[in-house]
Structure 1
Amino acid sequence: MQMRYCGSHEIFKLPTNLYNFPATRKVVDVIQVIKDDSTNSKVKRALLGAKKKERIKLPSYKNACVGEMYHISQFLKHPTGVEAMLNVNALESYVLIDTNTYRCKLPPIQLLNFEVAPVLDLEVTPASECCIVELLSCKFEGSEIVENQNQYFSATMKNFISWNITGSESFLEVDVKLNITLEIYNRPFTLLPVSTIERPGNLVLQALLDRFVPLLLQQLLQDYDAWITQQRRNLP
């Protein structure tokens, strides 16, 4: 995500290559941002937030060998399913750094006049009824100036993936919550109300999730279908 300030107007640009699917439009929730009311600190902080929940119908895949259904939980616990949730095709690299924790490096992006490479530590926790992908840390790699900005920025994200049955149909649901804290430390931003950053910032985050979540669901279904095909090929 790129943000650029120009005069009295904020200009935000979104990455266009998160997934190779057309964008979808949905009615969005209004995000309430809680202000930092601390009077003891002179530091201004913008608190940005967005959330998005969506579900999609799951196809039925039967394992003819044992007469049972392939369940989505089997896929998400499999290494292929973990890679699908991390969207490794959109990453420059990723590596396992701890149990269920991956360090994911995104391709460099242009932020103002600098090249920035976001590095995310993501924890993937599969369970019998759900799967949680949680952002543990987010840093930027690049020039010394870029990396110095890490101390003024923090982010949290939790992606709760679950499945349920309604009537005779099964559904996969994704519920994402994203929060970012930005320290305002230089002019002209220190002279402006925090709301001048929070309002457009919230719109950018919401637009990002509105695009990201439906495409994530579509990608998961595609990868799930490919995994099922491979499992059937491996049957004796």
Structure 2
Amino acid sequence: MDIGIRNGWRTPKTSESSGSNFLGLLRSYPNTIPRERIHMGNVHSGKRAMVISSLKKANISASRKQRIKLEINGEKELTFSEFLKHPSGMEAVINAKALQSYHLVDDSDDTYRCTLPKVQLMSFEVYPVLVLRVTPTQEDCTVELLSCKLEGSELLKNQSERFSAIMTNCMTWNMEHPEPFLEVDVRLNVTLEISTRPFTMLPVSAVEAPGNLVMQTLVDTLVPLLLQQLLKDYDEWIKKQQRNSLNATS
């Protein structure tokens, strides 16, 4: 017989009351232990945040400023600003002769989609596609790179998501100067995701330092070529306008 306590006195307990108390304890047992809910969503988002924060990105940049002399033609209507208003001027600014194709972006009169000639990388072919915005005024002209993508091979096309590029080319000129000139100020910045070994095991500076050297060499090579081609196109436009003027008066 079980012994219980009631009102301070020890009293016998029946098996029935003992059983009912035991069953009640079992029923209340799950609720007597505090439980903590685990939010799996927070765990997963934390993992995603850790992955995102662990990505390394290299910032590579280069710039060049250069001035070139403009020939005096003696005709005010043939200034460089007038040249840029002509379709030939726009083609010269975006260097259309070096492009495979180009066309205006829909609903825009100053933004061009430019496709460069194909590039062979091992057994893959890709076509770099640039979107350029050209903003000319009477005093200057600014060319901005809005996007740069790779098209062609799906494998290399996906690499477009791993880098981004920003470029500005600000052109200014002075036709009233004793020595008329055209000046360009080019600035290029590339952000590159570091996702392959052994580069992921190195500090970011180990990628940025040689990357800056390569980028600067590229800019130092291309800017003078761009200026020379721009000057050549300008001279050809002047001669063409002068011939048209002579033919109209004869």
Q: TM-score range by the shorter chain?
A: 0.7 to 0.9
Unaligned runs of 5+ in 2: 1-51
Whether 1:171 and 2:188 are equivalent positions in the alignment is no
Separation in structure 2 between the aligned mates of residue 167 and residue 128 of structure 1, nearest angstrom: 15
8 Å CA contact 1:109–1:115 kept in 2: the answer is: yes
Closer, same or farther: CA 44–112 of 1 in aligned 2, 3 Å: farther
More deviation, 200-209/153-162: 200-209
Percent identity among equivalent residues? 58
Whether 1:194 and 2:201 are equivalent positions in the alignment is no
Separation in structure 2 between the aligned mates of residue 77 and residue 166 of structure 1, nearest angstrom: 19
Q: Which amino acid aligns with 2:126?
A: V
Q: 1:70, CA displacement in angstroms?
A: 2.0
Q: Which amino acid aligns with 2:116?
A: L
Greater relative contact order (Cα < 8 A, sep 6+): 1
In structure 2, the residue matched to 1:148 is: 158
In structure 2, the residue matched to 1:160 is: 170
In structure 1, the residue matched to 2:88 is: 80
Separation in structure 2 between the aligned mates of residue 99 and residue 111 of structure 1, nearest angstrom: 34
Residue-by-residue CA offset, 1:126-160 (whole Å, 9 max, x unaligned): 00100001000000012111111111110000000
2:215 pairs with 179, 202, 205, which one? 205
Separation in structure 2 between the aligned mates of residue 167 and residue 96 of structure 1, nearest angstrom: 34
Closer, same or farther: CA 122–144 of 1 in aligned 2, 3 Å: same
From the two aligned structures, give the one with the greater helix fraction.
Answer: 2
Separation in structure 2 between the aligned mates of residue 41 and residue 164 of structure 1, nearest angstrom: 48
Whether 1:101 and 2:111 are equivalent positions in the alignment is yes
Q: Structure 1 length as normaliser, TM-score?
A: 0.78
Runs of 4+ in 1 over 4 A off after TM superposition: none
From the two aligned structures, give the one with the greater strand fraction.
Answer: 1
Separation in structure 2 between the aligned mates of residue 126 and residue 112 of structure 1, nearest angstrom: 40
Q: Which amino acid aligns with 1:156?
A: I
Q: Which amino acid aligns with 1:216?
A: L
Q: Which amino acid aligns with 1:61?
A: N
Q: 1:232, CA displacement in angstroms?
A: 1.0
8 Å CA contact 1:61–1:69 kept in 2: the answer is: no
How much is the aligned-residue C-alpha RMSD, in angstroms?
A: 1.6
Closer, same or farther: CA 124–203 of 1 in aligned 2, 3 Å: same
1:61 pairs with 63, 67, 73, which one? 73
Separation in structure 2 between the aligned mates of residue 112 and residue 206 of structure 1, nearest angstrom: 25
Separation in structure 1 between the aligned mates of residue 177 and residue 196 of structure 2, nearest angstrom: 56
Q: Structure 2 length as normaliser, TM-score?
A: 0.74
Number of residue pairs aligned between Structure 1 and Structure 2:
193
Separation in structure 1 between the aligned mates of residue 219 and residue 124 of structure 2, nearest angstrom: 24
8 Å CA contact 1:48–1:181 kept in 2: the answer is: yes
Q: 1:109, CA displacement in angstroms?
A: 1.3
Residue-by-residue CA offset, 1:8-55 (whole Å, 9 max, x unaligned): xxxxxxxxxxxxxxxxxxxxxxxxxxxxxxxx8111000000000000
Whether 1:222 and 2:227 are equivalent positions in the alignment is no
8 Å CA contact 1:156–1:179 kept in 2: the answer is: yes
8 Å CA contact 2:79–2:175 kept in 1: the answer is: no
